[in-house]
Amino acid sequence: MPTRHRRRSRYRSLILPLLLILLASYFAWQSTRGEYSQAAREALRLERLEREAVLAALVAEREALHAKVKRLRTVALDADLLDERARAKLNMAFPNELVIFHRSGQAPALAAHSPR
């Protein structure tokens, strides 16, 4: 039975190094532009900072509302605040009072008045 000897190709010895180079280049590309790259981490850090600022604003608003509700409880009832809220909700005033409307978000304009 005859035996055939094959001559090894020159390129066969380059297959493994070529595959390793391709694998290394893939990981290098992923480290710069992939989902978990440095740029993506920086974007996530900036988004986290923005959301922390929003959270801090919401916490401050919640604490202010909590303090306002606490003042309306019967244990520590603030008569001025109760009167203000009742008039605002009922849209009523005494006949001898002067009502000045202003846009919400703006401070009312103070005018010098001399009582008569």
pLDDT in tens, 41-75: 899 999 999 999 999 999 999 999 998 888 777 77
CA distance linking residue 112 with residue 99, whole number of Å: 15
Q: Taking the model in full, what pTM does it have?
A: 0.46
- What does the alpha-carbon distance between residue 114 and residue 41 come to, in Å, rounded to a whole number? 64
pLDDT grade for 112, boundaries at 50, 70 and 90: very low
| Average pLDDT estimate for 76-95 | 76
The mean pLDDT value for 89-105 works out to: 73
Measured CA to CA, the distance from residue 53 to residue 57 in angstroms comes to 6
The rounded radius of gyration (Å) of the Cα atoms in the chain is 37
